[in-house]
Amino acid sequence: MASVTGRRLDWIVAPAPAPLRGVLRVPGDKSVSHRALMLAALAEGRSRIDGFLEGEDTRATSRILQQLGVHIEMPHDGSRVVDGVGLRGLQPCAQPLDCGNAGTGMRLLAGLLAGQRFDSTLVGDASLSRRPMRRVIEPLAAMGARIDSTQGLPPLRVRGDQSLRGTVLRTAVASAQVKSAILLAGLYAQGSTEVREPQPTRDYTERMLEAFGWPIDYGPGWARLQGGHALRACDVQVPADFSSAAFFMVAATLVPGSEIVLAGVGMNARRTGLLDVLRAMGAEIDIEAPRQQGGEPVADLRVRHASLRGIEVPVAHAPDMIDEFPALFVAAALAHGRTIVRGAAELRVKESDRIAVMAQALRALGARVEETTDGAVIEGGTLRGGVVDSHGDHRCAMSLAVAALRADAPVRIGDCANVATSFPGFEVLARQAGFDVGIGT
């Protein structure tokens, strides 16, 4: 798989030479960064976003909004100033809008663009072009949108000048991206738009719409808004990304003698399923200094080494930790006993088939992993060194770097360049914490 950077990058990670230590600040939350840009662009007035994730995915969203006529300044890394154009102020762009590797960007933009007066075409890289979009196309079509695709795959041709109507939609999958696309389209719809989910998902969009002044009612598993209002500019402080913090949570738990603090981590209740699961496995993770930041709960997480035991992961946690399963697979492979994962079929249609990629890689390192349709059965034990491939999936690459810390010899991890989509500078922060990670030649 080609990387977003156009080059192949391998890592060589040695077993941890010493306990992991330090106070770490991981990059800003990717999901919040995407949404803050989009709502700031549609707002009336100037918004400032601090803590913005400088990843390839979020930068792609920023470039697209600029193609659509939005003026965005970058005072410094991690900050954006957006001059909103209002709900009807976006301008047509004759060129394709390139989302790169960003599934969040493409799905949310499909909803946002469905209400515009002009046509748009959303494209992505080879990986994104294989990811399912019917889950967003079909509910938007039920609202009156017209989105053309080839068998439900990108590119997406979003037809403009459609009359969107509010309706009640029950989504087939528990996906915050699908819910958010519907709500963004609902800003342009006549009447009330209501989303009902099979299981509750993260409520970033709902919280941010409130912050930007749009009336919305919501609770676990549902959200409802009326069209016909306006978004008002506001400043957004993006919390540190829980998904990025997850790799260091698992690493510090697994490496004997370790103790780290992860500062200012977003603690949205619909995002922290991994924390609950690791604690159930025996992890020692303390929540310190809980507070609110930009409408989102944040806290510092103190993580100490602990011996883990295998468990049956409650299916109800799956939507709240879908991005963290690769890291959990590593924890399970080094726990005592058996871990059973179910209800995670969504992993099969991420940047890679994450169940298959992690199972194959962990087996290559000596773990006993049995794939199932919607998860895996993992027998805990020890890991050996070797050569594995991340298949261009950023979360698999970083999870395998964590696994290497407890292997008995170095691990070479292939195709890691796509880590830049969500966690630029991972290698630098990992070395700061105590990882021995180098670049393969």
The residues that are catalytic are 323
Q: Look at residues 384, 332, 418 and name the one whose alpha carbon lies nearest to residue 11.
A: 418
Q: Supply 145's token pair.
A: 């949108």
Residue 248: CA count within 13 A, CB half-sphere: 34
Cα 133 versus chain centre, distance: 17
Name the helix (H) or strand (E) containing 397.
helix 394-404
CB atoms inside a 10 Å sphere around CB 336? 12
Is the link from the previous residue into 155 a cis peptide, with omega within 30 of 0? yes
Q: The sheet that has 259-266: what strands, in order across it?
A: 21-24, 259-266, 296-304, 284-293
CB atoms inside a 10 Å sphere around CB 311? 18
* 86, 45 contact by CB (below 8 A): no
Beta bridge partners, 414, equal 389
3-state secondary structure 156-206: EEEECCCCCECCEEECCCCCHHHHHHHHHHHCCCECEEEEECCCCCCCHHH
CA distance 228 to 225: 10
How distant, in Å, are the alpha carbons of 173, 176, 339 from that of 135? Answer: 8, 11, 30
CA distance 48 to 73: 9
